[in-house]
Amino acid sequence: MRWVLSPVLLGESLVMTVVLCMITLHATSVPVKSVAFVSYLTFYLIEMGQLLLYCWFCSDIKDKSEEVSSAVYASDWISADPPMKHNLSIFMMRAASPVKLDAMGFVNVDLDLFTSVMQASYSFFTVLSQMKDSEGEK
């Protein structure tokens, strides 16, 4: 699963950074009460929601996997027979590390990635907006 999802998640986060930046840049160049602005805003919200879905559910998978070891420990494992106790102890050790989906090993996909993409997108927008304004002054 990792070799299929990892490149997709990396591409998604990189492309979303650029797409959200460009949508914002174009939206600021049209009047607020225009159809174009509403279209840009709608597209922005859809793209942001798409990224949020990836990040939210990857974060949820990580959170739920952290609870597995505790749930096994909270079960009635003490009254189990010795082979079962051994199997459960191995299971708890393996479940102690949470499942994390990453983007080709560069970054974990979670809500922190969503925040980072939004911040990077805004930073790029600010730079491009200043460049656009300085070109207009010349």
Q: Tell me: the pLDDT tens digits for 71-83?
A: 888 888 888 899 9
Identify the three-state secondary structure at position 26. helix
pTM of the model: 0.82
Q: Which residue carries 């986060």 as its tokens?
A: 13
Instruction: For 86-105, write each residue's pLDDT tens digit.
Output: 999 899 888 888 888 888 88
Confirm if 120 and 17 have CB atoms less than 8 A apart.
yes
Q: Which domain holds residue 100?
A: 2-137
137 pLDDT above the threshold of 80? no
Count of structural domains, the chain: 1
Q: Is 82 left (phi over 0), alpha (psi -120 to 50) or beta?
A: alpha
Lowest mean pLDDT of 36-40, 60-64, 89-93, 132-136, name the range: 132-136
